[in-house]
Amino acid sequence: MPRSNTASPHMKPPAEWMQRVGAFTGLPGLIRELGADPVPILASAGLSVDAFRDPDDRVPYAAIGQILHEASRRTQCAHLGLLVGRMWNVTDISVTGEIILNSRTVGEGLRAHVVHQQLNSEGGLSFLLERGGTVDLGYAVYHPQVMATDLLHDAGAAAVFNCMRSLCGPAWLPIAVLLPHSKPADVTPYRQLFKVTPRFDAEFAAVRFADHWMKRPVDGADPQRLAHALELCNDMERGDLVQRVFRAMRVLLLHGNSSGDELASMLSMHRRTLNRRLEAHGTTFREILDTVRFDVARQLLTDSHISLDDVADSLGYASVSPFMRSFQRWAGTTPARWRRAATNGGPGPSRHQPDDHGAPGRQQDVADCDRR
């Protein structure tokens, strides 16, 4: 049974998982440009405008989702996530941006970035999938208690697009853009930004491009600045064990894996050591795996029309039947009924409060808001 809403005295609860402000400094101004007052919107997430003045400050990751949800609702801007993502560039991701800008090649920089990106965020991760002559550079939400995952995934994909254009120049164009939510009524803002029409109802959010771009030299790279940035990363590595396990588990699922041994290897420890340390934190590998799977399933069932077979596959199940049994155990209902309740705005479980079975539920997202 997923228990992401509970925490042992030794565990930092998800409500305290943080996000470096970075380019979110522009969020209050963007909300004003769209015709809304940012003060009450930020206050709905327990924050003030001052929280977004310094890019090196940190705010709760869940608050970002709450703000995007409320801002989209009040401004009636369904593509708000794209506008937020367009604010981001390589220089906005602090020390990992410094690594990218001073690596020998784009590929070396991106690979280092995805390893150390948790320094910027304790709720969303960057990932690379390199296969078949193409690269998927994407963004995935792994925080178990956040709203507006569709807007967050849009923002992540838009930020990836911006960063790749700044690294590679205007000749760089994506082969495809994948977004894990249903097709909006108006795809024009997506087509204008990405230069292609995205593939909606995908299993994850990513920008796909030819792998030869990974070999492109980075103009102006400085080996001394790279060494200094890598040293800073090693000194700054943060995140308690449970948060790191959530992140690593989501990365494994993106690579089609859910092995406890692989998870322990990613965290540079023996499997028995990992099990012992998780037990000391009041949880287990199986509970975290179930929680991450449950949360990704809810994202896909609520935000997209992806088939149940593809949902099961994205979660590492051999077939849809064991996935459906697991979901019934977690949620007390079937995936199809969950999806219908979310689509119809029915009384589905809240994603911020435990449902009757102790597992986190899912609040109705921005899909029901009025759209332009």
- DSSP per-residue letters across 252-278: HHHTT---HHHHHHHTTS-HHHHHHHH
**Mean pLDDT of the residues in the chain:** 87
Is the pLDDT reported for residue 3 higher than 70?
no
Q: What are the φ/ψ torsions at residue 104 (nearest 5 degrees)?
A: -65, -40
Confidence band (pLDDT; 50, 70, 90) for 364? very low
pLDDT at res. 138? 97
Across 244-259, average pLDDT: 90
pLDDT for 226: 93
Q: Are 183 and 306 in contact (CB under 8 A)?
A: no
Is residue 365 pLDDT above 50, yes or no? no
**Would you state the pLDDT for residue 241?**
83
List the domain boundaries for the chain: 241-368
CA angle 59, 61, 66 (to 5 degrees): 100
DSSP state of 26: G
Task: Judge contact between 278 and 125, C-beta under 8 A.
Answer: no
Q: How many Å apart are CA 276 and CA 273, to the nearest integer? A: 5
**What is the predicted pLDDT for the residue at 14?**
87
- 3-state SS assignment for residue 329: helix
**Which residue is associated with the tokens 């690269």?**
135
Q: What is the DSSP letter of 359?
A: S
Pairing label, strands 205-210, 134-141? antiparallel
- Confidence grade of residue 345 (pLDDT, cut at 50, 70, 90): low
CB 337 within 8 A of CB 324: no
Supply the pTM of this predicted model. Answer: 0.86
Please state the rounded mean pLDDT for residues 42-58. 96
What the block records as the tokens of 57 is: 């400050």
- 165-224 pLDDT, tens digit per residue, is 999 999 999 999 999 999 999 999 999 999 999 999 999 999 999 999 999 999 999 999
Q: What is the 3-state secondary structure (H, E, C) of 167-210?
A: HHCCCCCCCEEECCCCCCCCCHHHHHHHCCCCECCCCCEEEEEE
Share of the chain above pLDDT 90, in %: 74
Decide if pLDDT at 347 tops 70.
no
Q: What's residue 179's pLDDT?
A: 98
Q: Are 242 and 249 in contact (CB under 8 A)?
A: no
- pLDDT on residue 239: 57
Q: Count Cβ atoms within 10 A of the Cβ of residue 311 and give its class: 0-12 exposed, 13-18 middle, 19 or more buried.
A: buried
Report pLDDT for 11. Answer: 63
Provide mean pLDDT across the span 283-301. Answer: 94
pLDDT of 238 reads 59
Q: Decide if pLDDT at 372 tops 70.
A: no
Q: Look at residue 366 in the predicted model and tell me its pLDDT.
A: 29
Q: Indicate the fold that domain 241-368 takes in CATH.
A: Arc Repressor Mutant, subunit A (1.10.10)
The per-residue pLDDT for 61 is 96
pLDDT at 289 over 70: yes
The 10s digit of each residue's pLDDT in 230-247 is 888 876 665 578 888 998
List, in sequence order, every beta strand (DSSP E) within the chain: 18-20, 58-60, 124-131, 134-141, 176-178, 205-210
Other C-beta atoms closer than 10 Å to the C-beta of 356 total 9
Name the strand (E) or helix (H) holding 122.
Answer: none
Taking the CB of residue 186, how many other CB atoms lie within 10 A of it? 12
Distance CA(351)–CA(337), nearest Å, equals 16
Phi, psi of 56 (to 5 degrees): -90, -5
Residue 5 has pLDDT above 70, yes or no: no
Mean pLDDT along residues 30-59? 96
CA distance 62 to 81: 15
Round to whole Å and give the CA distance between 230 and 214.
20
Looking at this protein, which amino acid is placed at residue 205? A
Q: What residues have CB less than 8 Å from 131, skipping those under 6 apart? A: none
- Amino acid letter at 175? I
